Amino acid sequence: MNRVGYVYDPIYLDHITGNHPENPSRLEAVREYLAATGILQRLVPIPAMAATEQDLLRVHTERMVRQVANLSGRGGGRIDMDTLVSSRSYEAALYAAGGTMAAVQATVDGQVDAAFALVRPPGHHATPRQSMGFCLFNNVAVTARWAQEVLGIRRIAIVDFDVHHGNGTDDEFDADPDVLFISTHEYPLYPGTGDWRRPTHVRGPNNNLNIPLPAETDDDGYMQVFRALVEPALRRHKPELLLVSAGYDGHWADPLAWQMLSIQCYYDIAASLYALSQEICPGRLVFVLEGGYDLDVLSAGVASSFAAMLGLPFDDPLGPARKQGVAVDRLIRRLAEWHMLDGSNAEPASPDTRSSDAT
């Protein structure tokens, strides 16, 4: 059986956010579900560590780091309407970034074939200059920069399948041709970024793959995207490390978005990424938890990803969406042309009568 590790630390529960959608019950539910299904017992525990301020400063400004630290030191408060800080949030955020780094270290050392960092607060909206969107520091970006500088890993790919665009990660790596950033996200939706036609491509179209999907994109649409765009882009980039911002808020039952994914689709995405990582960067795959705000969906989604990496079957406890989604083949062809990818897998898995006017 594949060796799959996980990072978790109780400090993540000390980022207290009250009745905010991103709250400690998310990780509590995930842990309980993994234990109840027997998956947790199959995993290799990886101790979390704290990132240092130097680690954060590879990505974030000193002013931003001080803002979070000082607000936490004063007992907490709001950075903006969506982003909360409590008395131990700064420490939790250090361990969230450091836990992600620990997961990468375990894969590099050969302890595991893949790992999942079950961390919070999440990170992909945190820009180099601003905490936002439930995120304090950008766990994936901090880890990627650390991997480049400390571990000597030059070429990195980041796949973000959270339903929201990973604007912070995109901003950080926009000028680095060694880091491929791929984001599948509902568009338009918070934070309003991620249009593939944006005029600020510093690196050029080959190294920045934003895939803005219309509301009500379903399993078929997402898997078309992965086959026709994500997988060939990763093969072309040939990363030495594959990081995944894993959000489960694209599910049909999630309250904060309007996509139509099933747990089965999350299983298929994880299986695709695991298989591809074994092809292009064996043993260097790390998932990092981002969004997902229905506890049943989040728990089953994370468990399905672990099952896929372990090579185990997994039954979707919630089933598929109750209606058919929109087609995305026209969008895929446009993106394939723009990014100079083949795009031959853009056709739907089976003929249907869906509209194909997505833009």
Q: Is position 215 within any domain?
A: yes
Query: What is the mean pLDDT of the segment spanning 245-261?
Result: 98
Q: 241 pairs with which residues across the strands?
A: 156
Query: What is the mean pLDDT of the segment spanning 67-84?
Result: 98
Q: Is position 359 within any domain?
A: no
Strands 84-86 vs 76-78: parallel, antiparallel or unpaired: antiparallel
Q: Is position 307 within any domain?
A: yes
Query: What is the mean pLDDT of the segment spanning 327-332?
Result: 96
Query: What is the mean pLDDT of the segment spanning 190-206?
Result: 72
Q: What dihedral angle (degrees, nearest 10) is formed by the CA atoms of 224, 225, 229, 232?
A: -60
- pLDDT confidence of residue 342: 77
Does residue 21 have a pLDDT over 90?
yes
**How many separate domains does the chain show?**
1
pTM: 0.95
Query: What is the mean pLDDT of the segment spanning 352-356?
Result: 38
> Which residues does 301 contact at the CB level (< 8 Å), separation at least 6?
248, 251, 263, 266, 292
Q: Is position 159 within any domain?
A: yes
Summarize pLDDT for 86-142 with one digit per residue, the tens.
999 999 999 999 999 999 999 999 999 999 999 999 999 999 999 999 999 999 999
φ, ψ at 100 (rounded to 5°): -65, -40
Q: Is position 356 within any domain?
A: no
Q: Is position 357 within any domain?
A: no
Active site residue 185: no
Provide the residue type at 220 as one letter.
D
* CATH number, domain with residue 302: 3.40.800.20
Residue 343 contacts residue 230 (beta carbons within 8 Å):
no
Write the CA distances from 65 to 148, 160, 334, integer angstroms: 21, 24, 39
Does residue 348 have a pLDDT over 70?
no
With pLDDT > 90 as the criterion, what percentage of the chain qualifies? 89
- pLDDT confidence of residue 197: 76
Query: What is the mean pLDDT of the segment spanning 153-171?
Result: 97
15, 124, 125, 251: which is the annotated catalytic residue? 125
Query: What is the mean pLDDT of the segment spanning 221-226?
Result: 98
- pLDDT confidence of residue 353: 33
- pLDDT confidence of residue 347: 54
Q: Is position 352 within any domain?
A: no
Domain of residue 43, residue span = 4-346
Query: What is the mean pLDDT of the segment spanning 14-43?
Result: 98
- The span from the CA of 301 to the CA of 349, in Å, is 23
Q: Is position 239 within any domain?
A: yes
- pLDDT confidence of residue 358: 40
Does residue 350 have a pLDDT over 50?
no
- pLDDT confidence of residue 1: 78
